[in-house]
């Protein structure tokens, strides 16, 4: 059995005992969020400890970001150094002696300079932009539109239709202004995706989550963008492990993966979570 841990649970790990039937997965996103939260001496000590335990535990880290997965699945080219930077910063944190030592760390990858502040700023800007997009959409909906969305029966067929619309918009955006579905590159990207549909859980969750947010005028939280991002890794596992209430917004029946809490994981596998 394979279990994917989101950042919420990965930060609670105390130990991972040997269990031949259980494989624990984490991701570049989990590591990134752990790093970007280091903004004080106290957080440095706590999160350095978490990263050290991840390295020592044998957790398998998926060293791809949501961005690199999305572009790869559709066959688009992407020059990215952020994933490697996350891996390197993780090593730097584990080897660092103190908080000040870490704040002095600076390295260059592909012409990009990286420091701890780089990670903190990206986290802040991404969270801000995600909240802005969702909350702006909510603000322009009328009371009647919200009721219409609330009364809508989100059947699997309708969710699939909205997912396909999202796919179309993403591909056209990647192809550039003025692109249409008649562009041969569009057909190639769609064919590539059809042969590697690992992002279905991620896209369906966005459809369901945004529908709920719009119908209930539920403003986006600071971490919603990252919470959605974790679902792009979910297809690699049998169970998605999280104690975050965010995932209660989506309907488990739409997915082939089971959502469980940290406590449920312990009962199944006997591995420690604080």
In a domain, 37, yes or no: yes
Question: Model confidence over 102-150: pLDDT tens digits?
Answer: 999 999 999 999 999 999 999 999 998 888 887 887 788 888 888 888 8
In a domain, 206, yes or no: no
Q: What's the average model confidence in pLDDT over 228-235?
A: 92
Q: Residue 89: is it exposed, middle or buried by C-beta count within 10 angstroms (0-12/13-18/19+)?
A: buried
In a domain, 199, yes or no: no
Question: Model confidence over 217-227: pLDDT tens digits?
Answer: 777 788 888 99
pLDDT computed for residue 252 by the predictor? 63
Domain containing residue 56 = 2-140+222-269
Query: Which 3-state string (H, E, C) describes the chain?
Result: CEEEECHHHHCCECCCCCCCCCEEEEEHHHHHHHHHCCCCHHHHHHHHHHHHHHHHHCCEEECCCHHHHHHHHCCCCCCCCHHHHHHHHHHHHHHCCCHHHHHCCCEEECCEEECHHHHHHHHHHHHHHHHHHHHHHHHCCCHHHHHHHHHCCCCHHHHHHHHHHHHHHHHHHHHCCCCCCCCHHHHHHHHHHHCCCCCHHHHHHHHHHHHHHHHHCCCCCCCHHHHHHHHHHHHHCCEEECCCHHHHHCCHHHCCCEEECHHHHHHHHCCCEC
Q: What's the average model confidence in pLDDT over 83-99?
A: 97
pLDDT computed for residue 197 by the predictor? 67
The residue among 1 and 181 whose pLDDT is bigger is: 181
The residue among 37 and 77 whose pLDDT is bigger is: 37
Question: Model confidence over 8-27: pLDDT tens digits?
Answer: 898 887 555 556 678 899 99
In a domain, 135, yes or no: yes
- Residue 193 banded pLDDT, cuts 50, 70, 90: confident
pLDDT surpasses 90 at 28:
yes
pLDDT computed for residue 220 by the predictor? 78
Look at residues 3, 141, 116, 110 and name the one whose alpha carbon lies nearest to residue 51. 116
Q: Across the chain, what does the average pLDDT equal?
A: 88
* Backbone dihedral angles phi then psi of residue 61, each to the nearest 5 degrees: -95, 130
In a domain, 207, yes or no: no
- The HSE-up count of residue 255 (CA atoms within 13 Å, CB side) is 27
Q: In total, how many domains does the chain have?
A: 1
Question: Model confidence over 241-261: pLDDT tens digits?
Answer: 999 888 877 766 677 788 999
pLDDT computed for residue 16 by the predictor? 52
Of 69-73, 194-198, 232-236, where does mean pLDDT reach its minimum?
194-198
pLDDT computed for residue 211 by the predictor? 85
pLDDT computed for residue 49 by the predictor? 94
In a domain, 169, yes or no: no
């Amino acid at each position: 059995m394979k279990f994917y841990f989101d950042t919420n649970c990965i930060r609670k790990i105390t130990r991972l005992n040997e269990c031949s039937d259980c494989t624990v997965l984490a991701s570049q996103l989990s590591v990134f969020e752990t790093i970007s939260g280091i903004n004080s001496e106290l957080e440095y000590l706590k999160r350095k400890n978490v990263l050290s335990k991840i390295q020592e535990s044998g957790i398998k880290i998926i060293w791809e970001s949501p961005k690199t997965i999305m572009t790869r699945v559709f066959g688009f080219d992407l020059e990215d150094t952020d994933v490697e930077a996350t891996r390197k910063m993780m090593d730097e944190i584990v080897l660092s002696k103190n908080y000040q030592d870490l704040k002095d760390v600076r390295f260059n990858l592909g012409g990009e300079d990286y420091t701890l502040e780089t990670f903190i700023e990206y986290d802040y800007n991404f969270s801000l932009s995600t909240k802005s997009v969702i909350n702006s959409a909510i603000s322009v909906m009328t009371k009647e539109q919200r009721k219409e969305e609330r009364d809508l029966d989100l059947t699997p067929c309708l969710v699939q239709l909205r997912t396909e619309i999202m796919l179309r918009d993403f591909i056209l955006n990647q192809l550039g202004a003025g692109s249409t579905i008649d562009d041969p590159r569009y057909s190639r990207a769609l064919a590539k995706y059809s042969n590697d549909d690992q992002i279905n859980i991620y896209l369906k969750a966005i459809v369901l989550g945004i529908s709920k947010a719009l119908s209930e005028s539920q403003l986006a939280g600071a971490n919603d963008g990252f919470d959605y991002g974790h679902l792009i890794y979910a297809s690699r596992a049998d169970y998605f492990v999280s104690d975050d209430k965010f995932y209660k917004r989506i309907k488990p029946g739409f997915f082939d993966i089971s959502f469980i809490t940290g406590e449920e994981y312990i009962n199944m596998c006997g591995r420690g979570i604080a």
